Structure 1
Amino acid sequence: MKRLLIPLAVAGLSAAILVQPATAAPKWAKDDLLPKPSDAYSAAYFWLESNGAALRKATQYSLDTKDVPKLVSTGSKGAPDGKPGMTGPTTNPKPVTSKNVNLPKTIGKVFFRGTDGKYHWCSATSIQARNRNLVATAGQCVFADGKDDVYDKWIFVPGYYQGNAPWGVYVGAYAFTAYDLDTYDDYDGDFAFVAVHNGFSLAKDKRVTAKEFKAWGGDKWVKPREITAAEFGKCRLELGDCWSEGKDAPGDLVGPDFPGAVLEKVEVNKDAYTAARAGKGQGRKFGEPVVEQVTQPQWAAYKGLGEKGTGPDKLGNYTITHYYTQKWVKPGTSRKYFVADYYIGVATDRGRLGDVVGGQGVAWNQPLGQQVVAFGYPADPHPDGDKAFTGLTPKWCAGKTSTKSTQINTFKVETHQTLKCTMTGGATGGPWLMKYDNSKRTGYVNGVTSLFADTDENNRIDTISSAIFDGEVADVYNKANYAATKSIVGPNGELLK
């Protein structure tokens, strides 16, 4: 594949230039996620319907490995492969001051359906882009094992909390990553940039007429509603969309041992009850007589099969004694009537991701040993079984990254950077922000959480690792930076083509 000289000095990027030999192998890979608005809408609706039931059902994504990876220092300082560069963050939130670390508005969770058919999530962040539409996360949270294979129903939810999407849902359109990760599953390139469509939110179902339903270009569905026979007759006269199911059929008398037989009680007079035999069977006694206390007017007006008392007893109570026999029946059926109610799904366009929550900057070819703050939604238990995190809210670690690169043979890693941190799986894909400004809640993404390790072998995660953000990352980022996406829904909530 022929390579070109691609400047990064666009849309607020630094003046760094990526120089590649004309015959060099590609460093980046691009795969489609859900570029069509109709597919994107369906994916978002899948996650949002039933008040976010699928979102709450999802579990943290974890690598399928029984052993905690072993880290081996390579002794290398992770020499840059080009000039250092960075692009500044997009800032929307108002600056705030706090003695504690203020959580960025840009971070959230990505959700997807894994190759196991189950729903999973990772951590991620919005980043600066010329189209304000990029998400940074780990490559393993986008690209499944196998060449050119991406996860299904991929979305990003900034500010996610317990099934809620406060700033809307952003569906992935195109995914970019290192060529070697996409092709060879090489975790030295375990990062990804995903271009997302405009975000949107779903409103409550809106009931409409059949004419409005037919003309609606967005999501729509018909809900059957049960009605009475009288309502059904009126509906038919008015040529409405109604129908019936089943038929009226009385129950048949059967023996008590007949499969599915149902026991009912039949009230009889005292003589019939006395004449009936005890035991289980058709027409036999149904338990003991039942004495009912009633008011004097009820007692005086009663003309049923029960036996009235002679008058008030010593306590002034009036009673009626009821007698029952058994009736064993095969249940009958009844005809049911339904009418069609028409509903449409009205959605609200939330705009571009970067315009809504801002975007972190991106830095590459920086020296190792940077002071960073890492964010994520940890949820996995530690190897000793202790579950220190719930995954419901974001957590953070702060410190300096390793000054030498690390090798992790289990995942073909030759050069990763590491950070002392106790966050566990679920934090995968969360950003490592250098030069973090606590008042503006912004910094520069210089890594994303990839792997977890127990370096002192006490069965507790104490270290996380990330791909080193070098010139290859900048090359992939530059490609993603040009990706154009669009709105999924129009001003009236209709689905766009």
Structure 2
Amino acid sequence: MKRLLIPLAAAGLSATSLALPAAAEPNWVSDPLAAKPAEAYSAAAFWLEANGAALRKATQYHWDSKKVQKLVTTQAKTPDSKPSLVEPIGTAKPAARTRNVNVPKTIGKVFFVDRAGRYRWCSATSVQSRNRNLVATAGHCVFEKGKDVFQKWVFIPAYYQGSAPFGVYAGAYAFTHYDLDTYDDYDGDYAFVAVHNGFSLDKAKEVAKADFTGWKGDKQVKSEEITKAEFDTGLDKFGPLGPYWSKTLDTADKVGPAYLGEKTLTKVEVTKDAYTAAPASTNANLNGEKFEQVGPTPISREEYRKLAGEKADGKVLGFLAADKDSAGNETAWTLTRYYTKQWVKADKQVKYFRDRYYVAVAKDAGRLGDTVGGQGLAWNQPLGQAATVFGYPSAPHPDGDRPFTGVTPKWCSGKTGTKRVQANMFRVETHQTLRCSMTPGADGGPWLVRYDNAKRAGYLNGVTSVFYDQDGNERIDYVSSPYFDSETASVYDKAGFAETKSIVGADGEVRQ
């Protein structure tokens, strides 16, 4: 596992500090997700690009629905200290009374990429914290098999039918229980993730080439065909190295400076090595001089993989690069193209183009807790109390029936079981249970006690971890959560000190 010294708030506990037993050891571990703003921007932009195409491709966290467990009741769970609470923040204005359950905007989905490159998602919620930046979900929705964290981890609160109404929040640091991290023990199957400020991407805007070159965020070059008159005007205005260019449509004769007839400037794409070796412009109308470099232009990992394969076949001349973090994981991908001059006889068939430069402008959405609020936290609570569980179920039942799509949030409510349960497959010994038919995809969804339907707020007292078919009819009928005790509070408390930041500036640029 990678270990990191997390930036923590200044010493001195705030009003939300926890009163933990003096003898309690903080059995927590932490790992970086995308600690630097540029890494976080890349992760979030990956999901937002192409109008959220990656979000639509994602599927629920993989679960073999044929291997659902049966509950094994053991004994009542004895709290390790007195019951305690942290109050929710940013609760909604009381709504009119209704028989329906009002879904809080703190509920949403986390998206990530697993080791096999598959796009996945789980359920989660914003939770109250000192820095108003914490997300709570299942540990197995952050740590892959209890080991390394997933890549490109983001949280989208109030996710609904592919939209991100309050922005995308990239994970910075993940905190979980030592037992999950070390033993893949689902008694510690929860995680608190400190996220950076959220952001959204506006439509791309056109900018000058100089501004495009210096832009730190997403950018793209688009070429449009123009007339020869527009081309000539462009050359007069911008010079031969400006955004105007042309290309021949046949095997035109190249001409040199001694040629006395009319000639036209075109450009030829070359490799980086050939461009580096080419002479700079001497204004002597020579072929093979440097024309321009376009890029580095950010591309997606999928584009990078595709172009890398084509480059190996000699179909791509551009230079591909992949940035890596300190652990050697790829975080961003770029393509740079290189062109040299080519002068041809003007009587050859030529098409003319103008390059247009666009940048994607990001808007800061602020801290998560300030934007959507945060549920409270409760631990060492008695079993057998009323709870409301939210999530985005999607997987089919073991019998193959799929009643949920995962597109919209669902809920279950009732009293939790009065006995703790076991599930040997997951080293579970102390889970709490609730009768509920939600299927996987609801993983990580919050268990809220004392839920105020009018204010859409309550106290987080668990997260959906394991699914069960108790009566053997190949239908999920129970879910379980780790029991939140003082060790949970210790993990939460440590996560609450993690400091995060805005990842885009006032003009939409990516902070360094």
* TM-score category (smaller protein): 0.7 to 0.9
For residues 28-177 of structure 1, the aligned pairs below 5 Å read 28-64=28-64, 66-74=66-74, 76-97=75-96, 98-145=98-145, 147=147, 149-177=148-176
- Give secondary structure in 1 for the equivalent of 2:465: strand
Q: Distance in 1 between matches of 2:404 and 2:489?
A: 33
Q: 1:296-337: per-residue Cα shift (whole Å, max 9, x none)?
A: xxxxxxxxxxxxxxxxxxxxxxxxxxxxxxxxxxxxx97554
Relative to structure 1, is the Cα distance of residues 237 and 43 closer, same or farther in structure 2, using a 3 angstrom cutoff? same
Q: 1:34-82: per-residue Cα shift (whole Å, max 9, x none)?
A: 01000111111111111111111111113356411232111x2111122
Question: Residue 192 of structure 1 corresponds to which residue in structure 2?
Answer: 191
- 1:145 deviates by 2.0
1:428 and 2:450 matched:
no
Relative to structure 1, is the Cα distance of residues 115 and 214 closer, same or farther in structure 2, using a 3 angstrom cutoff? closer
Relative to structure 1, is the Cα distance of residues 101 and 146 closer, same or farther in structure 2, using a 3 angstrom cutoff? closer
- 1:14 deviates by 6.5
- 1:11 deviates by 3.4
- 1:492 deviates by 1.7
- Give secondary structure in 2 for the equivalent of 1:354: helix
Query: Residue 442 of structure 1 is aligned with which of 427, 452, 457?
Result: 457
- 1:245 deviates by 4.3
1:478 and 2:480 matched:
no
Question: Residue 386 of structure 1 corresponds to which residue in structure 2?
Answer: 401
Query: Residue 21 of structure 2 is aligned with which of 4, 9, 18?
Result: 18
Q: Distance in 1 between matches of 2:482 and 2:352?
A: 62
CA radius of gyration, larger in: 1
TM-score (norm 2): 0.75
Q: Is the 8 A contact 1:377 1:391 kept in 2?
A: yes
Q: Distance in 1 between matches of 2:18 and 2:374?
A: 19
| Percentage of matched positions with identical amino acids | 62
Q: Is the 8 A contact 2:177 2:188 kept in 1?
A: yes
Q: Is the 8 A contact 1:218 1:495 kept in 2?
A: yes
Q: Is the 8 A contact 1:12 1:88 kept in 2?
A: no
1:451 and 2:466 matched:
yes
Question: 1:16 is matched by which residue type in structure 2?
Answer: A
For residues 175-254 of structure 1, the aligned pairs below 5 Å read 175-238=174-237, 239=239, 240-245=242-247, 247-248=249-250
- Give secondary structure in 1 for the equivalent of 2:499: coil
Q: Is the 8 A contact 1:72 1:406 kept in 2?
A: yes
Q: Distance in 2 between matches of 1:111 and 1:344?
A: 25
Q: Structure 2: any 5+ residue segments left out of the alignment? A: 1-10, 253-347
How many residues get paired? Answer: 403
Q: Structure 1: any 5+ residue segments left out of the alignment? A: 1-7, 251-332
Q: 1:1-51: per-residue Cα shift (whole Å, max 9, x none)?
A: xxxxxxx99434376223236xx6x51010000010001111111111111
- Give secondary structure in 2 for the equivalent of 1:117: coil
Question: Residue 364 of structure 2 corresponds to which residue in structure 1?
Answer: 349
Q: Is the 8 A contact 1:14 1:86 kept in 2?
A: no
Question: 2:435 is matched by which residue type in structure 1?
Answer: K
Q: Distance in 2 between matches of 1:448 and 1:454?
A: 18
Q: 1:184-231: per-residue Cα shift (whole Å, max 9, x none)?
A: 111110000000001111100000112332444443332233334554
- Give secondary structure in 1 for the equivalent of 2:400: coil
Relative to structure 1, is the Cα distance of residues 446 and 9 closer, same or farther in structure 2, using a 3 angstrom cutoff? farther
Question: Residue 305 of structure 2 corresponds to which residue in structure 1?
Answer: none
Relative to structure 1, is the Cα distance of residues 395 and 235 closer, same or farther in structure 2, using a 3 angstrom cutoff? same
Relative to structure 1, is the Cα distance of residues 60 and 15 closer, same or farther in structure 2, using a 3 angstrom cutoff? closer
Q: 1:454-490: per-residue Cα shift (whole Å, max 9, x none)?
A: 1000111100010000111011001011111010111
Q: Distance in 2 between matches of 1:247 and 1:373?
A: 67
TM-score (norm 1): 0.77
- 1:344 deviates by 1.4
Query: Residue 427 of structure 2 is aligned with which of 407, 412, 420?
Result: 412
Q: Is the 8 A contact 1:137 1:192 kept in 2?
A: yes
Question: 2:87 is matched by which residue type in structure 1?
Answer: G
For residues 328-339 of structure 1, the aligned pairs below 5 Å read 336-339=351-354
RMSD: 2.1
Question: 2:20 is matched by which residue type in structure 1?
Answer: I
- 1:249 deviates by 5.7
Question: Residue 266 of structure 1 corresponds to which residue in structure 2?
Answer: none
Query: Residue 464 of structure 1 is aligned with which of 463, 479, 482?
Result: 479
Q: Distance in 1 between matches of 2:64 and 2:153?
A: 20
Q: Distance in 2 between matches of 1:14 and 1:419?
A: 30
Q: Is the 8 A contact 1:9 1:15 kept in 2?
A: no
Q: Is the 8 A contact 2:140 2:146 kept in 1?
A: no
Relative to structure 1, is the Cα distance of residues 194 and 15 closer, same or farther in structure 2, using a 3 angstrom cutoff? closer
Q: Is the 8 A contact 1:454 1:463 kept in 2?
A: yes
- Give secondary structure in 1 for the equivalent of 2:92: coil
